[in-house]
Amino acid sequence: MIAQLIVIAVGGVTLLVTEVIVAPPLFTEHLMRSGVTDPGTIEHAEQAFNSAYLISLSVASAAAIIAASIISWLLVTRIVPPLQRLSEATRQVAAGNYDIPIPEQGFGAELDSLTTSFRQLAWQLKEVDESRSQMLNDLAHEIGTPLATLEAFIDGLEDGVVEADAETYQVLRNQISRLHRLTKDIRQAASRHEEDLDLTLDLAPLDIRRQVQLAADLARPQFQAKGVSVESSVDSLTRNVLGDEERLQQVLTNVLSNALQHTPAGGSVHLKAHNHGPTVEIVITDTGEGIEAGQLEAIFDRFHRADPARTIADSPTGSGLGLTIARRIVIEHHGSITATSPGPGQGSSFTIQLPAHE
C-alpha cells in the first residue's frame, strides 16, 4: 500500500510541476500562434486551463489512490494468511514439531515453491533428528551391555562366586576394551557428522570355538541370576572365520541377551557352531516364548518390540536395537543372520553364517 502511494505521489508531483512550469508557457504560446493577442482574453484562458488541469489532476489522483487501496487490500488479504501459516510452521519446526501440516498456498508459483521447499526442509530436519536419536539409543544400548557384564562379574567377585583368576581379569579387560571401542565410535560419528556408527572392523583369523565358549561364559552370570541355563557345543572340526573379535562378541552378546529376555526361568539357551558348506554356522536356540511367523524378519527392525501381552513377566523390555546392531555387524562381515521359530511358546533359533577362513 505504501509503495503504491509513493508511486502515485511521485506521479502527482511530476504532473503538478509540469502544470506550473511547462504547461502555462506552452498554452500561452499556442494561443498567440492562433491569433489571440488580447491580454484579458489570454489571462482568462490561462485561468480556465489551470482550473481544468488542477481539477483533472485531483480527480485522477483520488481515483488512483482509491484503486491502489483496493488492489493493496486484495493483495494483502491473499498474501498475509499463507505467510502467517508459514511463519507459524517455522515456529513449530523450531520447537521440534516436524509433522505440522503445510498446505499448498495457491498464490503464485513463487509462494508455492517456497512452501514446497519449506516442507522438504521440515522433513529433512525430522530425518536428521530421528537419525541422531537412533544413534544415541544405539550407543546407550551398546554401552549398557559391557557395563552389565562388568557389574555381574564384580558382584560375583564380592560374593565369592567368581574366582579372581587370570580368566576373570581377561573378561573384565575385554569389556573395558569394548567400552573404549564404543568411545572411538562416538568420536568418529561426531567428527564426521554421520547418522550411523562407523562400523570399522579390525579383521583377524578367529577361532570360532573359542568365541562361542567365551560368549557363553560372559553371559552365564546374567543367565544364572534369572534361572536360565546357557550351554555351548562346538564341532571340533569347525573352521576359523576372518572377523573382528570385539564386534563378533557384540553379535553373540546381543542375540544371547534377546534369548534371555524372552526365555522364562527354568528354560535353557544353547549355542552350537559347525561347518556349513563354505561358511561357519552358529546357531543359538532357546526354549522361550517363540516368534510369530509374520515377525521373523521384523524383529531385526529398529525399535521393534514384542507383543506386550506375550512378554514374560518381570523381563526387561530392551531397547529394540540389539538384533538390529547384530545384523549390521554380521553383514559387515559378509555374513547373514536369520531367525526361525515353530511358533509362539515353542522357542526360537537364530542362525549366524560367516564365511569360513582357511
pLDDT tens digits, 275-320:
988 999 999 999 988 888 888 888 887 655 555 444 443 444 444 5
pTM: 0.51
Q: Do residues 234 and 275 touch, judged by C-beta distance below 8 A?
A: no
Q: Do domains 132-192 and 204-357 have the same CATH topology?
A: no
Sequence-distant (6+) residues with CB within 8 A of 231 are 216, 268, 269, 270, 271
Instruction: Using the structure block, give the residue that is written with the C-alpha cell 493577442.
Output: 37
Q: Give tens-digit pLDDT for 325-356.
A: 888 889 999 999 999 998 888 899 999 999 99
Q: How far is CA 77 from CA 67, 71, 72, 325, 341, in A?
A: 16, 10, 9, 54, 64
State the Cα torsion 53-59-63-66 to the nearest 10°: 130
Longest dimension (CA), the chain: 134
Q: Give tens-digit pLDDT for 302-314.
A: 655 555 444 443 4
Q: Which residues pair with 232 in a beta bridge?
A: 271
Domain 132-192: top CATH class: mainly alpha
Count of helix runs (H) and strand runs (E) in the chain: 8, 7
Can you give the residue ranges of every domain in the chain?
2-97, 132-192, 204-357
Which of these ranges, 53-57, 257-261, 324-328, has the smallest mean pLDDT? Answer: 53-57
DSSP state of 240: E
CATH of domain 204-357: 3.30.565.10
